[in-house]
Structure 1
Amino acid sequence: MVTMTYPDSSPNVLRQLARWKTSLFISTVFWLLIFSIVPAADAGVTGSEKKQIIVGGEINYPPYSYIDRKGEQTGFSVELTKAIARVMGIDVQIRLTSWPEARKALDEGRVDIILGMFYSEDRAKIYDFSPPFSINSDSIFARRNSPAVKSIEDLRNREIIVMRGEVMHDYIIKHHLSDRLLLTDTPDEALRLLASGKGDYALVAQMPGFYWIKELKLTNINTVGPPLEPFKNCFVVKKGNTVLLSRFVEGLNILNQTGEHRIFYEKWLGVLEPVGTNYKNFVKYAAAVIVPLLILLAGSLLWTRTLRIMVAQRTKELQKSEESLSRAVNAGNVGIWDWDLRTGQIFFSPQWKKQIGFEDHEIAGRYEEWESRLHPNDLAATVAVLKASLAPPWHPYNVEFRMRHKDGSFRWILSMGALEFDEQNQPVRMMGSHIDITERKKTEEALWESNEMFSLFMQHSPIYIYIKEVTPTQSIVLQASDNFQVMIGMTGREIVGKNMAELFSPEFAAKITADDWAVVSNGEVLKLDEELNGRSYSTIKFPLVREDKNLLAGYTIDITDRKLAEEERKKLQDQLQQAQRMESVGRLAGGVAHDFNNMLSIILGYADMSLDALQPSDPLRENIQEIISAGQRSVNVVRQLLAFARKQTVAPKILDLKDSVEDILKMLRRLIGEDIDLLWKPASDLWLVKMDLSQIDQLLANLVINARDAIKDVGKITIETANVAFDMSYCESHRDFLPGEYVQLTVSDDGCGMDKEILANIFEPFFTTKELGKGTGLGLATVYGIVKQNNGFIKVDSEPGKGSTFRIYLPRHQAAEENTEMTALPVEDLTIVETVLLVEDEKVILKLGKIMLERLGYTVLTANTPDEAIRLSREHTGEIHLLITDVIMPEMNGRDLARQLTILYPKLKILFMSGYTANVIEQHGVLDKDIHFIQKPFSRKDLAFKVREALSS
Structure 2
Amino acid sequence: MQNPGKVVPLQESETFLALINSLPLKIFVKDSDGKFIHANESYCTSLGLKLEEIIGHDDYDIHPQDLAEKYRKDDCRIMAGGKTESIEEKWQTLEGDEHWVQVVKAPLRGADQQILGTIGVFFDITERKVSELKRAEERNLLRTLIDNLPDWIYVKDTESRFMVANEPVAKLLGLDNSDILLGKTDHDFFDKIEADKFRADEKQVISSGKAIINVEEPVTDSAGNVRYVKTTKVPLKSLNDEIIGIIGIGHDITEERAAGLAKSRLEQQLYQAQKMETIGTLTAGIAHDFNNLLSVINGYAELMSLTSQDNPKNQEIVAKILTAGRSAAKLVSQLLAFSRKQAAQSMVIDINHELNALSETIRGKVGEKIQVEMRLATELWAVRIDPAQFEQVVFNLVTNAREAMAEGGHLIIETANVAADESGHGRFQEIQPGEWVQLVVTDTGSGIVEEAKNHIFEPFFTTKSKQQGRGLGLATVFGIVKQNKGYVYATNHPGGGAEFTIYLPKTNDPISTTSSPSFDDSMESLNGVETILLVEDDPEVRSLTRTILMDYGYTVYSAGNGAEALFLVEQNGKDINLVLTDVVMPGMNGNILVREILRKWPEMKVIYMSGYTDNALSDHDGLLEDNIDFLQKPFTKLELVRLVRGVIDREE
Larger radius of gyration: 1
Mapped partners of 1:569, 1:544: distance in 2: 36
Equivalent residue in structure 2 for 1:612, among 306, 313, 332: 306
Mapped partners of 1:405, 1:836: distance in 2: 124
**1:16 corresponding residue in structure 2:** none
Residue 510 of structure 1 and its aligned partner are, at CA, apart by 4.5
Change (3 A) 1:346 1:770: same
Mapped partners of 1:634, 1:749: distance in 2: 30
**2:227 corresponding residue in structure 1:** 536
Mapped partners of 2:326, 2:247: distance in 1: 73
Residue 899 of structure 1 and its aligned partner are, at CA, apart by 0.7
Contact 2:83 2:106 in 1 (8 A): no
Q: Are 1:380 and 2:73 matched, yes or no?
A: no
**2:564 corresponding residue in structure 1:** 868
Mapped partners of 2:149, 2:377: distance in 1: 59
Equivalent residue in structure 1 for 2:138, among 450, 453, 463: 450
AA matched with 2:610: S
AA matched with 1:851: T
AA matched with 1:906: P
**1:951 corresponding residue in structure 2:** 648
3-state SS of paired residue (2:575): coil
Contact 1:832 1:857 in 2 (8 A): yes
Q: Are 1:915 and 2:583 matched, yes or no?
A: no
Q: Deviations over 1:127-172 (max 9, x none)?
A: xxxxxxxxxxxxxxxxxxxxxxxxxxxxxxxxxxxxxxxxxxxxxx
Judge which range, 427-436 or 744-753, deviates more: 427-436
**1:649 corresponding residue in structure 2:** 343
Equivalent residue in structure 2 for 1:942, among 630, 636, 639: 639
Equivalent residue in structure 2 for 1:679, among 372, 376, 380: 372
TM (norm. structure 2) is 0.79
Equivalent residue in structure 2 for 1:525, among 203, 207, 212: 212
Change (3 A) 1:367 1:457: farther
Alignment of 1:473-492 (within 5 A): 475-476=161-162, 478-481=164-167, 484-485=170-171, 488=174, 490-492=176-178
Contact 2:536 2:581 in 1 (8 A): yes
**1:832 corresponding residue in structure 2:** 528
Mapped partners of 2:319, 2:444: distance in 1: 38
Judge which range, 884-893 or 429-438, deviates more: 429-438
Mapped partners of 2:374, 2:27: distance in 1: 112
Alignment of 1:730-879 (within 5 A): 731-736=425-430, 745-772=439-466, 774-798=468-492, 802-811=496-505, 814-825=508-519, 826=521, 828-876=524-572, 878-879=574-575
**1:437 corresponding residue in structure 2:** 126
Mapped partners of 2:120, 2:469: distance in 1: 108
**1:902 corresponding residue in structure 2:** 598
Q: Are 1:503 and 2:189 matched, yes or no?
A: yes
Q: Deviations over 1:862-885 (max 9, x none)?
A: 122212211221122642111122
Change (3 A) 1:418 1:616: farther
Mapped partners of 2:129, 2:506: distance in 1: 80
Residue 818 of structure 1 and its aligned partner are, at CA, apart by 4.2
Alignment of 1:120-269 (within 5 A): none
Change (3 A) 1:626 1:497: same
**1:67 corresponding residue in structure 2:** none
Change (3 A) 1:715 1:374: same
Change (3 A) 1:839 1:926: same
Judge which range, 774-783 or 453-462, deviates more: 453-462
3-state SS of paired residue (1:466): strand
Q: Are 1:881 and 2:570 matched, yes or no?
A: no
Contact 1:874 1:904 in 2 (8 A): no
Q: Are 1:596 and 2:596 matched, yes or no?
A: no
Mapped partners of 2:190, 2:270: distance in 1: 42
Contact 2:84 2:106 in 1 (8 A): no
AA matched with 1:543: V
3-state SS of paired residue (1:540): strand
Change (3 A) 1:578 1:821: farther
Contact 2:166 2:178 in 1 (8 A): yes
Residue 694 of structure 1 and its aligned partner are, at CA, apart by 1.7
AA matched with 1:410: E
TM (norm. structure 1) is 0.56
For structure 1, the residue ranges without an aligned partner over 5 or more in a row are 1-277, 283-325, 327-333, 357-361
**2:89 corresponding residue in structure 1:** 400
Residue 705 of structure 1 and its aligned partner are, at CA, apart by 2.7
Contact 1:415 1:433 in 2 (8 A): yes
AA matched with 2:153: I
Mapped partners of 1:840, 1:479: distance in 2: 83
Contact 2:103 2:120 in 1 (8 A): no
3-state SS of paired residue (2:643): helix
AA matched with 1:447: R
AA matched with 1:500: D
**2:413 corresponding residue in structure 1:** 720
Mapped partners of 1:881, 1:489: distance in 2: 88
Residue 720 of structure 1 and its aligned partner are, at CA, apart by 2.9
Mapped partners of 1:719, 1:388: distance in 2: 93
Contact 2:85 2:106 in 1 (8 A): yes
> How many residue pairs end up in the alignment?
612
Change (3 A) 1:368 1:867: farther
3-state SS of paired residue (2:41): strand
For structure 2, the residue ranges without an aligned partner over 5 or more in a row are 1-15, 31-35
Contact 2:279 2:339 in 1 (8 A): yes
Residue 837 of structure 1 and its aligned partner are, at CA, apart by 1.2
Alignment of 1:31-42 (within 5 A): none
Change (3 A) 1:655 1:418: closer
Contact 1:414 1:436 in 2 (8 A): yes
Contact 2:161 2:183 in 1 (8 A): no
Mapped partners of 1:520, 1:846: distance in 2: 88
Residue 834 of structure 1 and its aligned partner are, at CA, apart by 1.6
3-state SS of paired residue (2:248): strand
Contact 1:699 1:783 in 2 (8 A): yes
Change (3 A) 1:429 1:824: closer
Contact 1:751 1:802 in 2 (8 A): yes
Change (3 A) 1:515 1:693: same
RMSD: 4.1
Equivalent residue in structure 2 for 1:631, among 304, 322, 325: 325
Change (3 A) 1:766 1:631: same
Change (3 A) 1:449 1:732: farther
Change (3 A) 1:793 1:340: closer
Mapped partners of 2:193, 2:446: distance in 1: 38
Residue 819 of structure 1 and its aligned partner are, at CA, apart by 0.9
Mapped partners of 1:748, 1:732: distance in 2: 17
Tell me which of the two structures has the higher relative contact order, counting C-alpha pairs closer than 8 angstroms and 6 or more residues apart.
2
Contact 2:370 2:410 in 1 (8 A): yes
Residue 921 of structure 1 and its aligned partner are, at CA, apart by 0.6
Judge which range, 863-872 or 733-742, deviates more: 733-742
Contact 2:485 2:504 in 1 (8 A): yes
Q: Are 1:553 and 2:251 matched, yes or no?
A: no
